[in-house]
Structure 1
Amino acid sequence: MTDILVLVGSLRAASTNRQLAEAAVALAPEGANLSIYEGHGALPLYNEDVDVEGQLPAAVVEYRAAIAAADAVLVVTPQHNGTIPANLKNAIDWSSRPYGTSAISGKPVAIIGTAFGEHGGAWAQNEARKAYGIAGARVVESTSVAVPLSVVRFAETHPQDDAEIVEQLNVFLAEFVADLESESEAVAA
Structure 2
Amino acid sequence: MKILAISGSLRAGSYSTQLLRTAAGLTDIQLWTGLAGVPPFSEDHEDEPPQAVQAMKAEVSSADALLIATPEYNASIPGQLKNALDWLSRPHRECALTGKPVAVVGVSPSDYGADWSQQDLRKVLGVCGAQVVERRLCVPRADTAFDATGQLRDPAVQVTLTLLLDDLSAMARVPV
Alignment-derived partner of residue 29 in structure 2:
34
Q: Which runs of 4+ in 1 moved over 6 A?
A: none
Q: CA deviation at 1:137?
A: 1.3
TM-score relative to the length of structure 2: 0.92
1:50-89 paired onto structure 2 within 5 Å: 50-53=45-48, 56-89=49-82
Residue matched to 2:163: 171
Q: Whole-Å Cα distance in 2 between the matches of residues 158 and 50 of structure 1? A: 43
Offset of residue 163 of structure 1? 5.1
In the alignment, what sits opposite 2:144?
A: 152
CA RMSD of aligned residues (A): 1.6
In the alignment, the residues of structure 2 paired with residue 133 and residue 158 of structure 1 have an alpha-carbon distance, to the nearest angstrom, of 35
State, as a whole percentage, how many aligned pairs show the same letter. 37
Deviation at 1:158, TM superposition (A): 4.7
C-alpha displacement at 1:180, in angstroms? 2.4
Judged with a 3 Å threshold, the aligned counterparts in structure 2 of structure 1 residues 47 and 158 are, in CA distance, closer, same or farther, namely farther
CA contact (8 A) 2:6 2:32 kept: yes
Q: Are 1:125 and 2:118 an aligned pair?
A: yes
The amino acid across from 2:47 in the alignment is V
Distance 1:38 1:119 in 2: 26
Q: If you compute each CA radius of gyration, which structure gives the higher value, 1 or 2?
A: 1
Q: Aligned with 2:2: secondary structure?
A: strand
Asked if 1:162 corresponds to 2:153, the answer is yes
| Aligned length in residues | 175
TM-score, reference length from structure 1: 0.86
Unaligned runs of 5+ in 1: none
Aligned 8 A contact 1:100 1:136 in 2: no
Give the drift of 1:174: 1.7
Shift of 1:34: 1.0
The Cα offsets for residues 110-162 of structure 1, whole Å up to 9 and x where unpaired, read as: 10011111111111001000011111212222x121111112333x5354252
Distance 1:172 1:158, change over 3 A: farther
